[in-house]
Homo-oligomer: A and B are copies of this chain.
Amino acid sequence: MTTARLTRSREDYLKALFALEGGTRAVHVTPLAKRLRVTAPSATNMLARLAREGLVTRAARGEARLTALGLRRALQTLRRHRVLETYLVQALGLDWAAAHDEAEVLEHAVSDAVLDAMDCQLGRPHEDPHGHPIPDRRGRLAQRALVTLTALPAGAVAVVREVGDGDRAFMTRCRRAGLVPGAHVRVLEGGAALEVGGRRLAAAAARFSGVRVEPLASVTRRRRA
A92 to B108, Cβ gap below 8 A? no
When chains A and B are docked, how far (Å) is the Cα of A108 from the Cα of B121? 24
When chains A and B are docked, how far (Å) is the Cα of A106 from the Cα of B105? 10
Interface residues on A, range: 10 to 19
Residue A154 at the B interface, CB < 8 A? Answer: no
Give this chain's copy count: 2
> Among residues 98 to 128 in chain A, which have CB atoms less than 8 Å away from a CB atom of chain B?
98, 102, 105-106, 108-111, 113-114, 117-118, 121
Shortest beta-carbon distance, A4 to chain B, in Å? 15
A94 to B109, Cβ gap below 8 A? no
Which residue of the partner chain B has the closest CB to A117?
B92
Residue A88 at the B interface, CB < 8 A? Answer: yes
When chains A and B are docked, how far (Å) is the Cα of A108 from the Cα of B8? 14
Hey, which chain B residues are within 8 Å of A93, CB to CB? 117
Q: Could you list which residues of chain A lie within 8 angstroms of chain B, going by C-beta atoms? A: 88, 91-94, 98, 102, 105-106, 108-111, 113-114, 117-118, 121
A118 to B106, Cβ gap below 8 A? no
Which residue of the partner chain B has the closest CB to A115?
B92
When chains A and B are docked, how far (Å) is the Cα of A108 from the Cα of B105? 10
18 pairs, CB–CB < 8 Å, chain A vs chain B: A88-B114, A91-B91, A91-B121, A92-B114, A92-B117, A92-B118, A92-B121, A93-B117, A94-B113, A94-B114, A94-B117, A98-B113, A102-B111, A102-B113, A105-B111, A106-B109, A106-B110, A108-B109
Which residue of the partner chain B has the closest CB to A88?
B114
Hey, which chain B residues are within 8 Å of A98, CB to CB? 113
Hey, which chain B residues are within 8 Å of A92, CB to CB? 114, 117-118, 121
When chains A and B are docked, how far (Å) is the Cα of A66 from the Cα of B62? 50
Shortest beta-carbon distance, A117 to chain B, in Å? 4
When chains A and B are docked, how far (Å) is the Cα of A98 from the Cα of B114? 10
Hey, which chain B residues are within 8 Å of A110, CB to CB? 102, 106
Shortest beta-carbon distance, A119 to chain B, in Å? 11
